[in-house]
């Protein structure tokens, strides 16, 4: 199935609903390059895996399954299920023996990054990982200005604490620039966050 919208854009049937949601979001945030942050990170992780640089995967979306059909001679069909809130961050894996853990979020705002992009569970998880000497961080994208930053978990935690103590509910772009590390987009890998890890933790 293929037809053209009045604006000349092709319609492509989405293979999954998640896909559909991303495609919609893309129209607002990431139109120039046609890739979402998640797609860029998946490509990056694939590159790391194939080049034997690191083994990092995105966790599956957690789903509460309620009802499944088992038709004869074909695959089981889930007929009723609900999205569950994740209890951890989305990405984790191993690099040079070290545990790596991160969450990736984007905003359309230009001057600040709202902290409500994160759930309390995720903040708690980042704290637990840091207590175990794991490497935890977030990747923040300001999609309207095309800037991507690596922000260490410890900084996110203290900015979150500031909010909990009654302070501002977002991180200003100048704070992101001061505490974080800009990642310039590349071809392969697209978002080279391992380079930042090497620098910060002396692993190279």
Instruction: Please give the residue ranges that form the binding site for a second copy (CB under 8 A).
Output: 15-18, 49, 52, 54-55, 57, 59-68, 75-84, 86-88, 92-101, 125, 128-129, 131-134
Query: What 3-state class would DSSP assign to 177?
Result: helix
Question: Is position 36 annotated in a ligand binding site?
Answer: no
Question: Is position 164 annotated in a ligand binding site?
Answer: no
- Match 């501002």 to its residue by tokens: 168
> Which two structure tokens, joined as six digits, stand for 48?
């790391």
Residue 25: CB partners within 8 Å, gap ≥ 6?
Answer: 36
Whose Cβ is closer to a second copy: residue 24's or residue 110's? 24
Whose Cβ is closer to a second copy: residue 126's or residue 176's? 126
Tell me the closest approach of the beta carbon of residue 96 to a second copy, in angstroms.
6
Question: Is position 103 annotated in a ligand binding site?
Answer: yes
Tell me the closest approach of the beta carbon of residue 159 to a second copy, in angstroms.
22
- Distance CA(134)–CA(153), nearest Å, equals 10
Tell me the closest approach of the beta carbon of residue 77 to a second copy, in angstroms.
6
- Read off the DSSP letter of residue 52: T
Q: 171-174 — which CB contacts under 8 Å span 24+ positions?
A: 171/112, 171/113, 171/115, 171/140, 172/111, 172/112, 173/110, 173/111, 173/112, 173/113, 173/142
- Name the nearest CA neighbour of 198 among 56, 100, 52, 131: 100
Whose Cβ is closer to a second copy: residue 42's or residue 112's? 42
Question: Is position 90 annotated in a ligand binding site?
Answer: yes
Tell me the closest approach of the beta carbon of residue 197 to a second copy, in angstroms.
13
Tell me the closest approach of the beta carbon of residue 154 to a second copy, in angstroms.
15
Whose Cβ is closer to a second copy: residue 52's or residue 178's? 52
Whose Cβ is closer to a second copy: residue 62's or residue 114's? 62
- Distance CA(51)–CA(55), nearest Å, equals 10
Query: What 3-state class would DSSP assign to 28?
Result: helix
Residue numbering of the annotated binding site for Mg(2+): 88, 90, 103, 122
Q: Which residues are annotated as a binding site?
A: 88, 90, 103, 122
């Amino acid at each position: 199935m293929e037809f053209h919208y009045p604006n000349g854009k092709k319609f492509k049937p989405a293979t999954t609903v998640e896909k559909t949601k991303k495609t919609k979001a893309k129209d607002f945030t990431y139109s120039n390059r046609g890739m979402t942050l998640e797609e860029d990170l998946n490509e990056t992780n694939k590159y790391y895996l194939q080049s034997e640089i690191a083994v990092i995967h995105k966790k599956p979306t957690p789903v509460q399954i309620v009802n499944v059909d088992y038709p004869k001679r074909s695959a089981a069909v889930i007929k009723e299920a609900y999205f569950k809130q994740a209890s951890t961050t989305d990405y984790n894996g191993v690099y040079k023996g070290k545990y790596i853990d991160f969450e990736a979020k984007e905003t359309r705002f230009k001057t600040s990054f709202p902290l409500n992009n994160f759930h309390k569970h995720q903040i708690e998880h980042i704290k637990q990982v840091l207590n175990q000497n794991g490497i935890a961080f977030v990747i923040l994208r300001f999609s309207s200005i095309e800037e991507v930053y690596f922000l260490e978990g410890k900084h996110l935690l203290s900015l979150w604490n500031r909010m909990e103590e009654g302070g501002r509910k977002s991180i200003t772009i100048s704070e992101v620039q001061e505490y974080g590390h800009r990642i310039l987009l590349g071809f392969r890998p697209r978002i080279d966050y391992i380079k930042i890890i090497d620098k910060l933790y002396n692993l190279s």
